[in-house]
């Protein structure tokens, strides 16, 4: 039996009751069980790092995923929803290092890798347990935690080995020394895409340093750098061979320098400060030797160091046109010095900086100093040794470690790489097969990133991760790559059940070439390699579930934030293209970032955002879900989070919706109590009402269902939610408002039943459409409304939860676009009338004599006439007059110039043309509307140049009226006008 609905409601409390209901009935698992034999819809859950509790970014992405997967379940699919965890890598290790005060590899060595990894495992398990009972559960997301995947599971790690072995066997893996982004806080290199995730504007020291020529120490090349700490490792200078250089005398100091002519302004403020002594192309400087800054690597002169090199990478946009070369701290430096054989690819790197970013013993003057801190001491040394020409500061965009938020350095380290550059065209082709929402993210942001893809550095000099399964001889000439635990046991004779470093680092493989034993390399995989392998590893492919995977790959759907275009989306695509030659997913929704209300990044330290838990506690999860989804963030734009926005969802959407539901239940109960008439709804036998408002709301509902399904299948949540919110307004502020008397039985029992059946039908459809978006409030309403549904009309065997029900089918026989258009015009008239009343401060309780409606389309006026009783009642007027005659009532056109467009084009003539535009008559502007152009003061103007609007001329004999229009003029549309005789 339907229960009475209280007048007031606390949505968070009701949600807690629903959570208890779902938990008690095990609704999610029951939902999966019921749909087991349906067509499969594949969804990949991008694994978050298990190093903290969910923030708004997690909540947003999780809500999008929950909405889409619920929708496809309600559309007749089986949707497996497994939660995933990224358990390895820098995020976890960095948290442990902070907690235990670990500064570098020597601290880990003292502790032992086994103990270190034990600590890492403990933090992962703690956070994963907290997530399950945290906002993920409280936000109403249905996701399988019991059948989750964690990248630390041995079976997951084994598939990662298999993935790597496939790449290795295809010749896509190589070991090389490259200058790479390096995190000194995490003691490891990063990949290029990781380095691009966290850029900041910073002030760095900027110095110009002199390098006297050996042939004439009175003449010095001068080079500019923003990384003084790289100067101790200088091995060469580089100039552009084609651009012009000058020998120039500093008139203030009488010193002579060589620099690029185009860059003289970098040192001198005016031409009077210098005298050009000679001018020549950069190539004439090639091979000239100079005096080294420091003596740390003086012996390198034997291999050609400390001379001028030439390369076209030297540009004329910044610096002095002379670039100092520290080949192990700059990618171009490394390339150029290698080409000139100043360094060899296989030689020991001249890299006097350790993993923590501190100078090693070779740099005797600054040994032990952190490189960034050493800048000021190096500058002091340069000044004291007369090598400093100029010193200042320089603001630029610089990469920071995405995990530790500390500045990266660029450093040459031996690493393992996956070849990517050769398959850029294949990556772009596969990306083109994916459906991106919004489209521009795939085409522009992601597409541009793919075009510049570089070979992927997949090795990390860390401990907590999947070990790279490569065993090598001491000289690296014999290499064995292992792809499974069985293969490891076969080659080592030892059976292992866990693949972490502490369990396999000591295992050796006998050499087949008489080189003793092969030992595993120390590196572990980049954690992004693991997350990129998740489509295969989460099902332990190919060791298990082979057919299941092959039948459902690529995934139907994934969703993450826009930052993942340089993260998970990228690694998924690289691996699937390399392994299978196909994209890893078919459809992807990309969301923007949730920022603090001031537009800044949300920061725990600054406390510039409300705690998500408190928001849910105060307003409920449904309100937060709908606020996030009905915002620019689902169009991959940023959202400035405002608590009042969540509050407004309650006020503007939920409370009106709840009141409509309450009003229905009240009147069903009244009907039963006062007239002993039982209400029971059967969607299959419901008859069509003759009432125009019943027809309208039914048509509007069916049109919404049609639109909803089409747009949801196109993954355009940003078009769907506004329509759903608008529907609540249509239902509550128009249908219920204009039919209150019928619903209360004042027009007879039969008419009351028509209205109640209509309202129930619409509310029931609304609940099913809104269920993926607001799972709590729809469940709450349904648990009461289901007692009014004829069980024979429900197709589902188990209808005990709204989330077991399928979406309503479109009943096209109920769609009547003519009625929808008529009611829309009626609504416009009523809204215009309300504006006029507000303007004149005339409350609705005071009746008005007349409302005149003017429209150029007679058919539109017929529609309005058919609904005049609602207009008269809503506006409290005695008479409705309809007309197509604008002139009779003083409606005139006037024009305003588009200042930005015309001002730019007309320049000096703009003022005179503006004055003439304002003098144009209504007749001239009507002709302009038809023709699309008009000549004013000799200038031809078009639609984009003018803004037309209607005005009301009270001197035309209708002074007793107040007027308002429904919109600014559109040349191709008919506008609606309402005039109210404000005399009572």
Known catalytic residues are 47, 86, 528, 564, 568, 601, 604
Judge contact between 128 and 85, C-beta under 8 A.
yes
Paired residues of 259 in beta bridges:
246
CA 516 to chain centre: 52
Q: Is 923 exposed, middle or buried (0-12, 13-18, 19+ CB in 10 A)?
A: exposed
CA distance 767 to 762: 9
What are the b/e assignments for 339-378, b being 16+ CB within 10 Å? ebebbeeeeebbbbbbbebbbeeebeebeebebbebbeeb
Q: How far is CA 498 from CA 50, 86, 274, 488, 911, in A?
A: 20, 17, 70, 12, 80
Nearest to 220 by CA among 139, 120, 320: 320
CA distance 402 to 772: 34
Pairing of strands 594-595, 479-481: unpaired
Q: Quote the crossing angle between the two packed helices 717-729 and 621-629, to the nearest 10°.
A: 120
Name residues whose C-beta falls within 8 Å of residue 682's C-beta, 6 or more positions apart in sequence: 789, 790, 792, 793
- The two tokens of residue 618 are 């105060």
Judge contact between 796 and 805, C-beta under 8 A.
yes
H/E/C letters for each residue in 167-195?
HHHCCCEEEEEEEEEEECCCCEECCHHHH
Paired residues of 942 in beta bridges:
933
Count of other CB atoms within 10 angstroms of residue 631: 22
Paired residues of 877 in beta bridges:
848
CA distance 263 to 785: 78
Nearest to 691 by CA among 752, 764, 763, 761: 752
Helices (H), 501-567: 501-504, 527-532, 534-537, 546-552
69 three-class SS = helix
The arrangement of strands across the sheet holding 236-239 comes to 308-310, 236-239, 322-325
The two most distant CA atoms of the chain are separated, in Å, by: 114
CA 398 to chain centre: 22
Please identify which residue in the block is written with the tokens 């540009």: 315
Q: Quote the crossing angle between the two packed helices 775-785 and 621-629, to the nearest 10°.
A: 120
Name residues whose C-beta falls within 8 Å of residue 726's C-beta, 6 or more positions apart in sequence: none
- The two tokens of residue 712 are 């949801």
Is the backbone peptide bond immediately before 438 cis, with ω within 30 degrees of 0?
A: yes
- The two tokens of residue 121 are 């495992």
CA distance 247 to 322: 13
Specify whether the backbone of 726 is left (phi greater than 0), alpha (psi in -120 to 50) or beta.
alpha
In the 8-state DSSP scheme, what is residue 198? -
27 three-class SS = helix
End-to-end CA distance of the chain: 49
Helices (H), 304-457: 331-339, 371-384, 424-432, 439-440, 447-451
CA angle centred on 872, ends 866 and 875, rounded to 5°: 130
Helices (H) and strands (E) in the chain, counts: 36, 36
CA distance 622 to 778: 10
């Amino acid at each position: 039996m339907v229960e009475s609905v209280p007048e007031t409601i606390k949505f968070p409390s009701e949600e807690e009751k629903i959570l208890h209901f779902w938990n008690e009935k095990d609704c999610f698992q029951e939902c999966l069980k019921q749909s087991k034999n349906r067509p499969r819809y594949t969804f990949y859950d991008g694994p978050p790092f298990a190093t903290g509790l969910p923030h708004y970014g997690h909540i947003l992405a999780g809500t999008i995923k929950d909405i889409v997967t619920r929708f496809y379940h309600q559309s007749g699919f089986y949707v497996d929803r497994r939660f995933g965890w990224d358990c390895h890598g820098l995020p976890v290790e960095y948290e442990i290092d902070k907690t235990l005060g670990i500064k570098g590899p020597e601290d880990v060595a003292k502790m032992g890798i086994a103990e270190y990894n034990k600590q890492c495992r403990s933090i992962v398990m703690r956070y994963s347990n907290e997530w399950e009972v945290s906002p993920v559960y409280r936000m109403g997301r249905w996701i399988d935690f019991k059948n989750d995947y964690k990248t630390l599971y041995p079976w997951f790690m084994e598939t990662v080995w298999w993935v790597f072995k496939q790449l290795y066997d295809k010749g896509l893996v190589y070991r090389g020394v490259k200058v790479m982004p390096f995190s000194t806080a995490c003691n490891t290199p990063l990949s290029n895409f990781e380095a691009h995730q966290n850029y900041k504007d910073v002030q760095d020291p900027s110095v110009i340093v002199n390098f006297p020529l050996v042939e004439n120490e009175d003449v010095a090349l001068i080079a500019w750098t923003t990384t003084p700490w790289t100067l101790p490792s200088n091995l060469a200078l580089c100039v552009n061979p084609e651009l012009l250089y000058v020998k120039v005398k500093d008139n203030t100091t009488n010193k002579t320098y060589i620099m690029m002519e185009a860059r003289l302004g970098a040192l001198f403020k005016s031409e009077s400060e210098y005298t050009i002594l000679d001018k020549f192309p950069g190539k004439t400087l090639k091979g000239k030797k100079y005096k080294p800054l420091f003596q740390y690597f003086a012996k390198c002169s034997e291999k050609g160091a400390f001379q001028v090199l030439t390369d076209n990478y030297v540009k004329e946009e910044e610096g002095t046109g002379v670039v100092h070369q520290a080949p192990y701290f700059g990618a171009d430096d490394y390339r150029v010095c290698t080409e000139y054989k100043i360094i060899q690819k296989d030689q020991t790197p001249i890299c006097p900086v350790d993993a923590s970013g501190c100078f090693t013993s070779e740099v005797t003057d600054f040994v032990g100093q952190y490189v960034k801190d050493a800048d000021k001491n190096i500058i002091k040394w340069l000044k004291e040794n007369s090598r400093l020409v100029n010193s200042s500061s320089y603001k630029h965009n610089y990469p920071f470690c995405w995990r530790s938020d500390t500045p990266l350095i660029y450093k040459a380290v031996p690493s393992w790489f996956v070849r990517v550059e050769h398959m850029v065209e294949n990556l772009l082709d596969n990306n083109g097969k994916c459906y991106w929402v919004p489209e521009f993210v795939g085409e522009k942001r992601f597409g541009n990133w793919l075009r510049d893809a570089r070979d992927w550095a997949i090795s990390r000099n860390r401990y907590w991760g999947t070990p790279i399964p490569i065993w090598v001889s001491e000289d690296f000439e014999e290499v064995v790559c292992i792809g499974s635990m069985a293969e490891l046991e076969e080659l080592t004779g030892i059976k292992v059940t866990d693949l972490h470093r502490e369990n396999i680092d000591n295992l050796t493989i006998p050499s087949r070439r008489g080189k003793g034993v092969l030992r595993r390399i120390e590196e572990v995989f980049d954690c992004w390699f693991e997350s990129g392998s998740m489509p295969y590893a989460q099902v332990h492919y190919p060791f298990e579930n082979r057919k299941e995977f092959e039948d459902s790959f690529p995934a139907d759907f994934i969703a993450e934030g826009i930052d993942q275009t340089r993260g998970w989306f990228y690694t998924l695509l690289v691996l699937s293209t390399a392994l299978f030659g196909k994209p890893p997913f078919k459809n992807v929704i990309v969301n923007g970032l949730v920022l603090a209300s001031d537009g800044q990044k949300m920061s725990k330290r600054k406390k510039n955002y409300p705690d998500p838990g408190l928001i849910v506690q105060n307003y409920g999860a449904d309100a937060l879900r709908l606020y996030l989804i009905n915002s620019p963030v689902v169009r991959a734009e940023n959202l400035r989070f405002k608590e009042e926005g969540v509050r407004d969802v309650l006020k503007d959407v939920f409370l009106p919706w709840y009141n409509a539901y309450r009003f229905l239940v009240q009147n069903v109960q009244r009907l039963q109590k006062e007239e002993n008439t039982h209400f029971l709804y059967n969607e299959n036998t419901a008859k069509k009402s003759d009432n125009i408002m019943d027809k309208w709301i039914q048509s509007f509902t069916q049109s919404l269902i049609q639109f909803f399904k089409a747009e949801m299948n196109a993954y355009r949540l940003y078009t769907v939610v506004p329509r759903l919110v608008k529907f609540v307004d249509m239902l509550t502020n128009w249908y219920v408002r204009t039919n209150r008397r019928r619903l209360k039985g004042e027009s007879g029992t039969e008419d009351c039943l028509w209205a109640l059946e209509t309202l129930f039908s619409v509310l029931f459809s609304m609940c099913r459409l809104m269920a993926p978006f607001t799972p709590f409030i729809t469940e709450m309403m349904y648990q009461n409304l289901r007692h009014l549904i004829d069980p024979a009309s429900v197709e589902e065997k188990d209808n005990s939860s709204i989330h077991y029900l399928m979406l309503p089918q479109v009943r096209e026989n109920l769609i009547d676009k003519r009625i929808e258009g008529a009611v829309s015009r009626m609504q416009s008239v009523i809204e215009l009338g309300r504006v006029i009343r507000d303007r004149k401060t005339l409350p609705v309780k005071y009746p008005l004599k007349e409302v005149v409606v003017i429209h150029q389309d007679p058919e539109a006026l017929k529609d309005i006439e058919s609904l005049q009783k609602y207009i008269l009642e809503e506006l409290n007027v005695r008479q409705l007059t309809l007309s197509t005659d604008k002139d009779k009532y003083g409606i005139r056109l006037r024009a305003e110039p588009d200042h930005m467009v015309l001002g730019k084009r007309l320049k000096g003539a703009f003022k005179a043309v503006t004055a003439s535009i304002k003098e144009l008559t209504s007749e001239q502007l009507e002709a302009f509307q038809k023709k699309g152009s008009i000549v004013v003061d000799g200038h031809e103007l078009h639609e984009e140049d003018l803004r037309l609007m209607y005005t009301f001329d009270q001197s035309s004999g209708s002074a007793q009226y107040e007027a308002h229009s429904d919109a600014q003029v559109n040349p191709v549309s008919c506008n609606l006008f309402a005039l109210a005789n404000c005399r009572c």
